Each structure stands twice: as C-alpha cells, then as structure tokens.
Amino acid sequence: MSTQVIGYFDSEEGLLHATRDARRAGLTIVDAFTPYAVHGLDDAMGLRRSRLPWVCFLAGITGGTFAMSFQIWSSASSWALNVGGKPFASLPAFVPVTFEVTVLSAALASAFAFFARSRLFPGKTAAVLQRVTDDRFALVLGSEDNRAAAFLKHAGALEVQVP
C-alpha cells in the first residue's frame, strides 16, 4: 500500500495550490478527496472532461426514436383503431409521449452510467480517508517519486501520511 502519500489540508485554497504545484513539479496525482465539489480542482488535477453527455445524448435519441416508432406501429399498424376520425399516424399527438420517453431514458441512462463508471453501488464498503467527507481536503500523490512527502509538507499540509 505504501505507493501513495496522503497530505491533509484544512481549506480548499490549500488543496488547490498544492495540486497545481504538484502537477507543475511533475508528481503523479493519484486523486484528491474533498467534502464538496471544489471549483477549479478538475483543471488543477488535469482531469479530462466527462463523457457522460454522450451517454445522455445517445440514450435520449434512442429512447425518443423508440417511443415515436412504437406509437406509430401500435396506432397505425399493429391494431389501427379509428379514434374520432383522426389519422392513424397522428404525429403531432405523439410528440408529448416521445418527449417524455426521451427525457426519461436520457436521465436514467446518465445516472446509471455515472454510478457504473464511478463504481458506486448500494452497500459498497469504501475506505474513506479521515474527515474528507466533513471538513478535510486530501491530496494523494504517488510515492514512487520520493519528493512527494516533502512536497506535501512544504505545501502546507496539516498532516502527511504514508499508508
């Protein structure tokens, strides 16, 4: 386990500066742990943009296409029922359901994709660093570079841990 060094900070600024400097110094940033979403930390860590919007878009398109085709098929082909003399394929009347199914599939698919990609599931046992879901900010660096521990101390970490 001692391939990592953890530095604890007590403010988001401390963590942000340390992360930026660590990246500039060429240290490996394993991850950062924060009690809330810290603005600018993604850039500081050099994270790629999430691809979730693609999941959302494709699921929405699929759901919408399915809803529209299903309505046309069931109302005009499977059992074409004359309702008040309206056309069998009443496209404008099919818009509301198409819209709702689009939104439903996009939302559910994005949420499932998020939980799957982040490997979060009900009852998962997670090793949570001390107080990072409350009021501490932790920066985890790779310790193959032996500068890491000294770097964290210098960056103002309250505590540096080698697990």
Identify which range of 20-28, 49-57, 144-152 contacts other proteins by CB under 8 A. 49-57
**Minimum CB distance to other proteins smaller for 3 or for 11:** 11
Rg (CA), the chain: 25
Query: With binding defined as CB under 8 A, does residue 146 bind other proteins?
Result: no
- Rounded to the nearest angstrom, the gap between the alpha carbon of residue 46 and the centroid of all alpha carbons in its chain is 15
**Minimum CB distance to other proteins smaller for 13 or for 144:** 13
Using CB under 8 A, pick the residue from 25, 46, 53, 144 that binds other proteins.
53
Do the Cβ atoms of 141 and 4 come closer than 8 Å? yes
| Minimum distance, C-beta of residue 92 to other proteins, in the bound complex (Å) | 9
Token pair for 20? 């930026």
Using CB under 8 A, pick the residue from 4, 20, 23, 97 that binds other proteins.
97
Using CB under 8 A, pick the residue from 25, 46, 61, 74 that binds other proteins.
74
Do the Cβ atoms of 152 and 30 come closer than 8 Å? no
∠41-160-141 over CA atoms, to 5°?
A: 45
Using CB under 8 A, pick the residue from 38, 62, 142, 161 that binds other proteins.
38
Where is 21: in which H helix or E strand? Answer: helix 12-24
Query: With binding defined as CB under 8 A, does residue 79 bind other proteins?
Result: yes
